[in-house]
Structure 1
Amino acid sequence: MKYFLFAVLAISTLLSFANATDQSPLLLAKPKIVGGELAAQGDWPWMSALVFTYSDANSALDVAGTQYQSEPFSYSPSGQASATMVDCGLGDDLCHLAENKICLIARGEIDFSVKAVNCQAAGGIGAIIYNNISGVISGTLGEGFIGNIPVIAISQNDGAILLDKLDSIATINLSVKQDLTQSASCGASFIGEKWVLTAAHCVEDANIEFLKVNIGEYDLSNGASNAKAIKRIYIHPEYDEGSTFNNDIALIELVESSDQTAVKLLDYNTSKQLAIANSPATVIGWGNVNAYGPNDEPPVNSQPNQLRQVELYLLSNEECKDQLAQAYSDLNNTTYSSNQVGITNSMICAAFSGGVQKGSCQGDSGGPLLVNTNEGWQQIGIVSFGVGCANEAFPDVYARVGSFTAWINNITQGIAIESSYDFALTPQNKAQTTPLTVTNNTNLIANLSFTLLADNTSSNGFSLNTDNCTQLSAKQSCQIQVDFDAKTLGKHKVRIVINSNDINIPTSQSYLSAEAIAASNNINTQLSNGSSELRWFSGGDQPWLLDNTEPAIMSGAIGEDQQSAVILTFSGAGTLSFDWSVSSEKNIDNPDESFGILYLIIDDEPIKFISGEVAYAKVIIDDLAVGEHQVTWLYKKDGGTNEGTDKASLKNVIFTPTVTALPSPLPSPSTSTKDSKSSGGSAAFILLIFSLLTLRYRRI
């Protein structure tokens, strides 16, 4: 069964509504789609779109008459540059031979924007940045890029070719559309001043450098000139990102306030009364207009640019539970009770009537479910999840806004703290630290204290340093330091409680979590002959296992929404190579939405991933810098069906240290005066390691 959040995982996917001709419940053939209703412009001034903004650009690279594949960096200026090239290495300093030349720069170590600025500061007229792994870079210089030379990206292989053609004339052509283009990822609603409400699953992995909010949006094709920057995101601290999606709500704080009309939020008791009465409700958004059954693959995306709306009717939670229990029972030929379907008091359901299928779908996530009261339109829900799209047997499920009134008030009108932080899988005895921002959103001076409350007595690896936040002026922020020392194996979770000396100042709370995982001597023996230089760890829902048929390892047997990881820590500069494979379910219709994925993460940065049926393939990572490194291979499964052998495998993992010649020793009376050099022998270290880490956008 396909069980989908109504969110869009691919940047290019937009929002709308599903509306199909009538058919019997649970029919698995794709129904005929007739589309939703076009909203009237101006009717929903608080409707907002979470958008990725980018410059629509094209690039071309010609070197000595040969065309090379290239990609423009986002926010690169337009322009043409033609000259010979100069090797600028990593571009981490001024390239002193770049005067009137094109800089050829390797990816790694520092931001793309710094590389480009260093090129221009040395007199370079254009920059070509080549990858340090296979494929062409897809990156950004950042919205605040101050350079004015064209900057493009090429592959690792083409970079190696051009290093041998530095004396050839290279010509860069880069054209950029002036207006920023936008792609909507989710809906949202403006609730006043600088605050926007959306679904937690829309923003749980968001990078606010690239995500913006377009308040009062109607037509997405008009561009992103009015999109507002995000200052901070607060996800409900008890949001369950697993199988229940409970507390699927988040607040977005904008950098600047807006005078746009705000939507009113409906209280909990009134929402219950309206649901019991099966009152009408309207949901709006830009999501997919194609309905489909619970076992169908989602059809080809069909998202309108203009805002759409559809009218549903509310269900009481008891009615919703009963309908879902019956639908699951019919679908799976077994019996489910109403208490097994996962509907909580913080959720509300809506369905359609009248024989025409309609409802929210992929891309509508985070948008508002609204009711028309004697006080005008009020928001009763937030689009959260459903089974299939616009399926008669399965009501759509929304986060009930009235359940979160206190939390919203504590954040927007009180002392706000970042909602949660997960140190994830941490090798035993490793210490980690992170700052958390605390903000006083009141007009009062607040004297604060902080308390850690553990879920169990073993969660004693956390500690706080709150010296900078004991007193906080109105509208000011500070940072506390959170430390985790992974001495005790297992999962750990604590809650940060903020206490104020003024009962009129509401406060919020934050959750901290981590899992300390054990060293794996078996993997060390299997892959690195027991080397003391390599420190191996494995864990997650299941540790990795030895492959008894060859010197390899494979992921543990995990279920839906689980993960299996292995971690290696080591020191030194050098090159990493390995062979990896995976056999898993893959979404054929949208390859960006893989269902079983093997990730490679190095030093907290996602490098690449594979999914589906992939035979052993070699990967080479060059230019690992001096210092401590943590390499992670992480296999994750979604909550869908199983395909293939459902496992990931790894072998031939080799780390080759960089060899640096030592300076000749000074002569002494007791030794020969001949120069001596350190030998160049390089021991090959076989290594492997997995760990769950929060994926971040890779910029270097």
Structure 2
Amino acid sequence: MAFKYYAFSIFPTCIVLITALHYDYDSPVVSQLPDYAVRNVGKFQPRIVVGVIPRYHDMPFVVYIQSFGRFGQSDSCTGSIIASRYVLTAFHCLENAGENFHMTLEEIRKHMLVNVGSMYKKDGRPYKVLAYDPVKTRKGDVDMVILKMDGELKFPNGTVITPVVLGRWTPKKNVVLSIAGHGWHTANGRIQRPDRYITASAKVVSNETWEGNVGFRAIGVNEGPAKGDSGGPALKPVKGNYVQIGMIAEAGKLSINANDRYIVGVYVSIGPYCHLIQEKTNGSARCIRANN
């Protein structure tokens, strides 16, 4: 049965069905959903975007990005650590902040903070952004930007954070991916901002190209990306590791089929831009083949 699409966006948060085993600092090891993962927070039952609010920092490469205006305004996105001093996120996060705050991109860059090393938004180490480098091809601008931090990215205790592995892989239909983001969350009909990132699953339904971008569309049953999740990773488990093969580009839209609610998200693929990412990080971020 064809989906019936509605023309409005929703604003919950993204989440995952596959999480990593917990170690003291960072571990890319993937397993089935552990017993400690919780689906309820207090008295609230997640609704529109159901998923896991983790108790442990299972994806230490996920970061919280804030942009500030001149008069106290703020906006936020998600990103992933791809090398010791580099973070990948969505370029529209900078553009939207610039438009909303009436500031240039360079002014936004100077007013950005990236919190790393903690699953919680307000914890971890804050880093300033020294430079931003948009990903561009001959076909046009890609909704990706690489942020260079003002120091090596570390946990609060000084331990260096291991970057996410990047994958050169063309998403195949019906493959289920894990996604993560610091965005909005809906529980019992109320929009909330969780104090930590949330993870979810999304099944690839088609490959997409738009405005110079090469990517894919994926859906989740009652779960998916939302406002604030842009720039977050789409991950594929490969030989026990998380491999980032995509990036959240567009918050989910609601689709209804019978009694199920589907969250449809749009993602930019990593594979077509591996050479540019490697070039813009001076070779410190590289892709592996993720065919299996």
Mapping of 1:593-632 within 5 angstroms?
Answer: none
Among candidates 213, 229, 235, match of residue 128 of structure 2: 229
Distance 1:386 1:53 in 2: 21
User: Would the aligned equivalents of 2:121 and 2:196 in 1 still touch at CA under 8 Å?
Assistant: yes
Q: What does residue 286 of structure 1 align with? A: 182
2:109 aligned counterpart, secondary structure: coil
**Contact in 1 for aligned 2:15/2:198 (Cα 8 Å):** no
Report the Cα offset of residue 389 of structure 1: 4.6
2:85 paired residue number: 194
1:42 equivalenced with 2:57 (yes/no): yes
Q: Which residue of 2 aligns with 1:404?
A: 273
Residue 219 (structure 1) aligned with residue 120 (structure 2): yes
Secondary structure of 2:237 counterpart:
strand
Structure 2: how far apart are the matches of 1:239 and 1:361? 30
AA aligned opposite 1:367? G
SS, match of residue 192 in structure 2: coil
Asked whether 1:377 is paired with 2:246, we answer no
Q: Pairwise mapping of residues 290-309 of structure 1 onto structure 2 (< 5 A)?
A: 290=186, 301-309=191-199
**Does the C-alpha gap of structure 1 residues 395 and 408 become closer, same or farther in structure 2, counting only changes over 3 Å?**
same
Query: 2-side partners of 1:309 and 1:346: how far apart?
Result: 23
Matched, 1:271 2:181: no
Whether the 8 Å contact between 2:9 and 2:251 is mirrored in structure 1 is yes
CA distance in 2, matches of 1:398, 1:410: 22
Q: What does 1:292-691 correspond to in 2, within 5 Å?
A: 301-317=191-207, 342=210, 346-352=214-220, 356-374=221-239, 376-386=241-251, 388-389=253-254, 392=261, 395-413=264-282
State yes or no: 1:51 paired with 2:48.
no
Q: Is the 8 A contact 1:367 1:382 kept in 2?
A: yes
User: Partners of 1:311 and 1:2 in 2: how far apart?
Assistant: 23
* Cα distance in 1 between the residues matched to 2:144 and 2:239: 26
Distance 1:139 1:279, change over 3 A: closer
Displacement of 1:301: 3.5
Structure 2 residue aligned with 1:96 = none
Q: 2:14 aligns with which of 3, 6, 17?
A: 17
* 3-state secondary structure, aligned to 1:351: strand
Query: Could you tell me which residue of structure 1 aligns to residue 152 of structure 2?
Result: 257
Note closer, same or farther for the CA distance 1:138–1:200 as it changes in structure 2 (3 Å cut).
closer
The one-letter code sitting in structure 1 at the alignment partner of 2:77 is C
Task: Measure the CA separation in 2 of the matches of 1:390 and 1:211.
Answer: 34
Q: Contact 1:219 / 1:305 at 8 angstroms: preserved in 2? A: yes
- How far 1:345 sits from its partner (Å)? 6.7
Partner residue of 1:138? 71
For the pair shown, the structure with the greater C-alpha radius of gyration is 1
* TM-score for both structures, normalised by structure 1: 0.29
| Partner of residue 24, structure 1 | none
Aligned AA for 1:380?
I
Distance (whole Å) between structure 2 residues aligned to residue 5 and residue 34 of structure 1:
10
Tell me by how many angstroms 1:400 deviates. 0.4
2:165 and 2:244 in contact (8 A); partners too: yes
Residue 92 of structure 2 aligns with an amino acid whose one-letter code is H
Tell me how far apart the structure 2 counterparts of residues 239 and 184 of structure 1 sit (CA, whole Å).
30
How far the C-alpha of 1:290 sits from its partner, in A, is 3.1
Are the aligned partners of 2:77 and 2:231 in contact in 1 as well (CA < 8 Å)? yes
Identity rate of aligned residues, in percent? 24
- Distance in 1 between residues matched to 2:52 and 2:117, nearest whole Å: 18
Deviation at 1:280, TM superposition (A): 1.8
Distance 1:373 1:40, change over 3 A: farther
Question: Is the 1:200–1:239 contact (alpha carbons within 8 Å) kept by the matching residues of 2?
Answer: no
Q: CA deviation at 1:187?
A: 0.3
- In the TM superposition, 1:120-139 aligns within 5 A as 138=71
Distance 1:311 1:201, change over 3 A: same
Task: Determine the C-alpha separation between the residues in 2 that align with 1:219 and 1:37.
Answer: 14
In 2, Cα distance between equivalents of 1:186 and 1:265: 20
The structure-2 alpha-carbon separation of the partners of 1:34 and 1:198, relative to structure 1 and needing over 3 Å to count, comes to: closer
**Unaligned ranges ≥5, structure 2:** 1-5, 17-45, 99-104, 154-159, 285-292
Deviation of residue 386 (structure 1)?
4.5
Higher relative contact order (CA 8 A, sep 6+): 2
Q: Distance in 1 between matches of 2:139 and 2:228?
A: 20
> In 2, distance between residues paired with 1:41 and 1:53?
28
Cα separation, 2, equivalents of 1:305 and 1:211: 19
SS at match of 1:190: strand
Q: Give, in whole Å, the separation in 1 of the partners of 2:163 and 2:178.
A: 17
> For each residue in 1:78-105, what CA deviation from the matched residue of structure 2 results, as whole angstroms up to 9, or x when unmatched?
xxxxxxxxxxxxxxxxxxxxxxxxxxxx
Aligned AA (1:306)? R
The code of the aligned residue for 1:193 comes to S
Runs (5+) with no aligned partner, structure 1: 7-14, 20-30, 55-136, 141-182, 292-298, 322-340, 415-440, 442-700
What secondary structure sits across from 2:185 in the alignment? Answer: coil
Residue 264 of structure 1 deviates from its aligned partner by 0.6
Secondary structure at 1:219 match in 2: coil
Distance 1:368 1:271 in 2: 15
Aligned counterparts of 1:48 and 1:239: Cα–Cα separation in 2: 30
Could you tell me how far apart the structure 1 residues matched to 2:51 and 2:135 are? Answer: 31
Which amino acid is the alignment partner of residue 188 of structure 1?
G
**How many residues matched?**
229
Aligned residue identity for 1:199: A
Counterpart check, 1:247 vs 2:112 = no
Q: CA RMSD in A?
A: 3.6
